[in-house]
Amino acid sequence: MTLLLKSVWRNALKSGQLNNHTLRSTSFSSVSVADTLAKTPDNIMMTIKTAPTTSEVLATVQANLAVLTHRHMLQALRSLFELQKTSKYNKDMDTDAIIKDPTFGVLCQNFKKHARALEVNETIEAIKVLSFLKVPADSLILQTMLQMIRCNINTLNTQQIMFVHFLLSQFDGKNHLVDALKLALPLAFQIHLPLELDNQDLFLLRDMLIYCCSHDLPDRCINNVVTGLLLHDQAISPQMSKSIIWALCQINCTEQTFPTRTQLLHKCCDILTQSIDSLAYDDVLRTAARLKGRILEKHPEFYHQQLMDAIANYVINNDVEFEKGLLVARVLSRIAHTHLSLMEYLCQKAASDPDTLSNARTNIIFGFVNCLANNNYTPDPDQWDELRKQISANPILNATNATLPWTKLCLEMASLGHYEDRLLNRVFSKEFLNEYLARENNTLDYLQLLTLYEAVRTFYSEEYELPQNILERAKDMYPVHSLNGVLVEHLTKGLGGPEYVAKNVVLPNGIVLDVVLAVKGGYPLELPPISSTLKLPIEKLNIPQGAIVICVMNFNQGCFSMNSNRLRGPFRLILDILEKQGYATVAFNVNDWLSSPAHERTPYLMREIGYKCGEMGLKLSAT
């Protein structure tokens, strides 16, 4: 590892090393002055410490430059930092004035000469002050301080390494020495970690975990810190839990591979669930957003239902304003976590002020409708009428920007029973369709358009038309579920034979029914034998009049809420269309069904079909 560190320096710093003679040269007069001052009360140090303004600090430096030691100069930098940090005025302008002051340049020039006399902590403090004052990383004073860090990198402890790395991240622009240090510090940290890991120091363990996760350190380093943190599971505070969750969101926490990481993640989620109200709103939102990101990357271990419920309740319990509450709701909506009380709260907030939605920005309108649709939530009629008026009054709906997801918005509105003629006229216009469907990978666009078209004609108005070529292409693109064969096998067992079921049956409107059976008088009817085809038109089944067509639709997990068996609005709309057009539908979660024991799958399907028949006054009698 030491050879690796040396290689980093050798490759990155060939032209950046300081002359050792310069670093080691020491002014004998300065040492003499230092010895003299040590024997007498240091009035200069006291004057610098108690100076009320930055200008007085610099004036003191200017007046006593000849007798200042490196400790005086470091105190001057420290005083500039403290005064600037507590300044009530424009800090950027004040900071700019300080570093442009000729006396500050002289201070830095003289301080640089004493770099060899600095202890490591003093060097780090100097870098902190210079960074805060926005001194450029390529300035001579900072290059000198960074070279001192480079020379002493193996003597830094883990806490110093973490702090120096943080300071380096504050510098703007590219600098080869800064970049080289950023590469070398994690390697040095990796060497020191086993020696300095203190399982009794909870705060140090937290900081170590954050550093390990942020800089992609080896798994053994992370796992050792995680094990130490698990020893304190009863002492971890909500704030610390938040920090640990944020850190773990940067690494792999798959339970099969890293069970202790998953254990720590879930423990911290449990703690936050109980104490979520102790966090600030911004921290709650960021926690939800970070977990959402990992969940969307197909890492289910980051989904914690109770924490998501607690986050939603945080908005309600703390009376969070509408737009901030909607941000939380949108995060939950993205991972399909349903929380009807949150939606009710947001609807009440919006309805209480007539300007909430009527003057809302584009992302607010689109986000609000999306949350309602994904939660499959429609407010009570009076409240919904008010919200619809506000939405209709928003001038955003007059916009003609084709890059906005107008079709998706109309489809989500349709799932809520709301139709906007001006939007429908635009979405079904040839000009819009030519631009909208010109995009690559547009299968989803066609499917949304077909579903919207059928919903509008079924529930609203038959005046709207799609061009025939687009309609036919959308029907052709309607997908066939890959697991329909498994479904047929189990229904065949339950109904008494394969002659009672047909799969991949396509309706005249283009929607594909996963499995179809016909029932008359409570008994399933035999269907004509059909040679296997990808899509079977329902007309070929010759279903007799008076028979009830039952469609079994197996939806994937993504069509349902994560925390309930509740279909999301646009998918429930498909069932509504089928029911309205005379087809009885049975919908279920195919992922849940396949995860159940094999001997329970057929009885489950038969029960669901039996319930549907019972709703129509029939008792299913399978042979």
104-128 confidence digits (pLDDT tens): 998 989 888 888 889 999 999 999 9
551 assigned to some structural domain: yes
Same domain for 72 and 147, yes or no, is: yes
Tokens 């210079």: give the residue. 130
Is residue 456 predicted with pLDDT exceeding 80?
yes
Contacts made by residues 535-538, CB under 8 angstroms, sequence distance 24+: 535/480, 535/504, 535/505, 535/506, 536/502, 536/503, 536/504, 536/505, 536/506, 537/505, 537/506, 538/505, 538/506, 538/507, 538/508, 538/513
Q: What is d(CA 246, CA 289) in angstroms, rounded to the nearest whole number?
A: 10
Tokens 């084709």: give the residue. 402
Same domain for 431 and 523, yes or no, is: no
Q: Which residues contact 228 (CB under 8 A, 6 or more apart)?
A: 197, 198, 199, 205
As given in the structure block, the two tokens for residue 32 are 């003499």
605 assigned to some structural domain: yes
pLDDT value of residue 66: 86
Predicted TM-score (pTM) of the model is 0.85
Q: What is d(CA 83, CA 399) in angstroms, rounded to the nearest whole number?
A: 51
Among the three residues 477, 505, 524, which one is the final residue of a domain in this structure?
477
Among the three residues 432, 455, 477, which one is the final residue of a domain in this structure?
477
167 φ, ψ (degrees, to nearest 5)? -65, -40
Q: H or E element: which one contains 540?
A: none
Residue 552 sits at the vertex; the CA angle it makes with 551 and 555, to the nearest 5 degrees, is 125
Q: What is the pLDDT of residues 290-316, one digit of tens each?
A: 999 999 999 999 999 999 999 999 999
Same domain for 452 and 494, yes or no, is: no
C-alpha distances out from residue 28 to 33, 69, 72, 74, 75, Å: 9, 11, 17, 19, 21
How many independent structural domains does the chain possess? 3
Is residue 17 predicted with pLDDT exceeding 70?
no
Specify which residues 515 forms β-bridges with. Answer: 503, 552
High-pLDDT (> 90) share of the chain, %:
67
Is residue 36 predicted with pLDDT exceeding 50?
no
Is residue 28 predicted with pLDDT exceeding 80?
no
Same domain for 455 and 530, yes or no, is: no
423 assigned to some structural domain: yes
DSSP class of 567: B
489 assigned to some structural domain: yes
Which of 1-10, 232-241, 478-487, 488-497 shows the lowest mean pLDDT across its residues? 1-10
Q: What is d(CA 315, CA 326) in angstroms, rounded to the nearest whole number?
A: 9
Contact, 506 vs 538, CB < 8 A?
yes
Average pLDDT over residues 135-162: 93
Among the three residues 136, 156, 190, which one is the final residue of a domain in this structure?
190
Q: What type of residue sits at position 485?
A: G
Q: Which residues contact 316 (CB under 8 A, 6 or more apart)?
A: 341, 342, 345
Same domain for 425 and 507, yes or no, is: no
430 assigned to some structural domain: yes
DSSP 425-486: HHHTSHHHHHHHTTSSS-HHHHHHHHHHHHHHHHHT-S-----HHHHHHHHHH----TTHHH
Same domain for 162 and 59, yes or no, is: yes
Same domain for 460 and 502, yes or no, is: no
pLDDT value of residue 37: 41
326 assigned to some structural domain: no
Choose among 489, 508, 411: nearest CA to 456: 411
48 assigned to some structural domain: yes
Same domain for 523 and 440, yes or no, is: no
Residue 45 buriedness (CB in 10 A; 0-12 / 13-18 / 19+) = middle
289 assigned to some structural domain: no
Helical spans, DSSP H, in 478-558: 484-495
Same domain for 39 and 174, yes or no, is: yes
C-alpha distances out from residue 320 to 3, 305, 375, 423, Å: 55, 21, 20, 32
Choose among 48, 53, 122, 125: nearest CA to 84: 53
Q: Is 554 helix (H, G, I), strand (E, B) or coil?
A: strand
Same domain for 574 and 472, yes or no, is: no
Same domain for 470 and 585, yes or no, is: no
Whole-number CA gyration radius for the chain: 34
Same domain for 412 and 436, yes or no, is: yes
pLDDT value of residue 85: 83
Is residue 89 predicted with pLDDT exceeding 80?
no
Look up the domain containing 584 and give its range. 484-615
Task: Write down how long the chain is.
Answer: 623
Q: How far is CA 195 from the centre of its chain?
A: 35
Helix axes 259-275, 305-317, angle to 10 degrees: 20
Q: What is d(CA 250, CA 231) in angstroms, rounded to the nearest whole number?
A: 22
